[in-house]
Copies of this chain bind each other. A is one copy, B any other.
Amino acid sequence: MTLKEAVEKLNEIEKAGYALGHAQSILHVDGDTVAPKNSWKGRGKALAYLGELTYRQLVNPEIGEILDTILQNRDEMDEITFRRAEVMKENYDDLHVLPMEEFIAWQELANESGAVWHEAKEKSDWNMFAPYLEKLLTARRRYAALKDPEKPAYDVLLDLYEKGISMEMLDPFFRALREDLSPVILEVAKREKPVPAFLKNTWPVEKQRVFSKKIMDLEGIDPLNCTLGETEHPFTNGTNKWDVRITTHYHEEDPFSSMYSVIHEGGHALYELDVRDDLQFTCLAGGATMGIHESQSRFYENIIGRSRAFCTPLLKILKEVFPEQIGSLTEEELYSAINLSKPSLIRTDADELTYPLHVMIRYELEKAMIAGDLAVSDIPGEWNRLYKEFLGVDVPDDRRGALQDSHWSFGGMGYFPSYALGSAYGVQMLREMEKTVDVWSAVAAGNLSPVTAWLTDRIHQYGMLKKPQDLLPAAMGGPLDASVYTGYLKKKYSELYGL
Contacts and interface: CB of A to CB of B under 8 A. Distances in A.
A34 B242 contact: no
B38 A242 contact: yes
Given A22-B46, A23-B50, A27-B26, A38 B225 contact: yes
Contacts of A22: 27, 42-43, 45-46
A232 to B, nearest CB: 16
Interface string A253-281: 00000000000000000000000000001
Contacts of A35: 26, 227, 243, 245
Interface in A21-51: 22-23, 26-27, 29-30, 33-39, 41-43, 45-46, 48-50
A57 to B, nearest CB: 11
A19 B224 contact: no
Interface string A205-231: 010000000000000000111110100
Interface string A231-245: 000000001101111
Contact of A23 (B16, B33, B46, B244): B46
Interface in A152-183: none
A54 B216 CA distance: 39
Given A19-B49, A49-B16, A49-B19, A37 B224 contact: yes
A15 interface: yes
Q: What's the dominant secondary structure at chain A's contact region?
A: helix
Contacts of A240: 41-42
Contacts of A18: 42, 45-46, 49
Contacts of A245: 34-36
Contact of A38 (B30, B41, B243): B243
Contact of A36 (B30, B39, B242): B242
B49 A243 contact: no
A266 to B, nearest CB: 14
A38 B221 CA distance: 13
Interface string A3-22: 00000000000011011101
B223 A42 contact: no
A45 B229 contact: no
B224 A38 contact: yes
Contacts of A26: 26-27, 30, 35, 43, 46
Contacts of A16: 49
Contacts of A226: 36
9 contacts: A19-B48, A22-B43, A23-B27, A26-B35, A34-B229, A36-B242, A38-B225, A41-B240, A42-B242
Given A26-B46, A36-B225, 6 more contacts: A15-B45, A16-B49, A18-B46, A18-B49, A22-B43, A37-B224
